[in-house]
A and B are shown apart, each in its own frame.
Chain A
Amino acid sequence: ELKVEQNPLFLSMQEGKNYTIYCNYSTTSDRLYWYRQDPGKSLESLFVLLSNGAVKQEGRLMASLDTKARLSTLHITAAVHDLSATYFCAGAYNFNKFYFGSGTKLNVKP
């Protein structure tokens, strides 16, 4: 079974600061996914990382994947309050069985 661990679980940061969320996974994953969830809402797909060394950026968020270290990171640059949400990473087995991390609840304080 693919185990996915995120840290930190809670992150409180000031606007304008940078921080990184880490996602470790236990065995080979076909892909690595990042999602955002606002309170009481559904999941929004942020990034899909396909191969070793993949890097994707959207606005203040940048995700990367190191398959050798079984590590993905989600880097937040110059955080703004609108980024406050819970962020999940997920791995996939056989492209169709997904394992989610516990989530990182991000609170960006003005």
Chain B
Amino acid sequence: EPEVTQTPSHQVTQMGQEVILRCVPISNHLYFYWYRQILGQKVEFLVSFYNNEISEKSEIFDDQFSVERPDGSNFTLKIRSTKLEDSAMYFCASRVEGYEQYFGPGTRLTVT
């Protein structure tokens, strides 16, 4: 069964460093999403992406964040200068024209 994959599973970085989180959505899916979940808290929407552009973004998704679909298969989230409060689980999701999102396994980002 097709699934969303994410790499790495765990990323440790120092404050101020740039990180890129990678996702490979399900191949025929058209809509792509990034979410984050701080440990023990709710899931927070970051951004949605369709037709090679951002369709919606949350207040969290400020100038420090960017997304890209560089090659038709990968979908990346870049954080330019990480802060301690960026430590969280980051989930990628995708969906085809329809309603159900499929989530990847997540990348745990630890900022020290």
Contacts and interface: CB of A to CB of B under 8 A. Distances in A.
Interface residues of A, number: 22
How large, as a class, is the contact surface on chain B? Answer: 20 to 34
State the main secondary structure of chain B at its contact with A.
strand
Nearest to B49: A96
A45 B4 CA distance: 13
A42 B91 contact: yes
Contact of B48 (A33, A41, A50, A96): A96
Nearest to B54: A96
B48 A42 contact: no
A93 B103 contact: no
Interface string A17-45: 00000000000000101010000011111
Contacts of A90: 43
Given A42-B91, A96-B50, A103 B42 contact: yes
Contact of B103 (A42, A99, A101): A42
Interface string B12-46: 00000000000000000001010100000111110
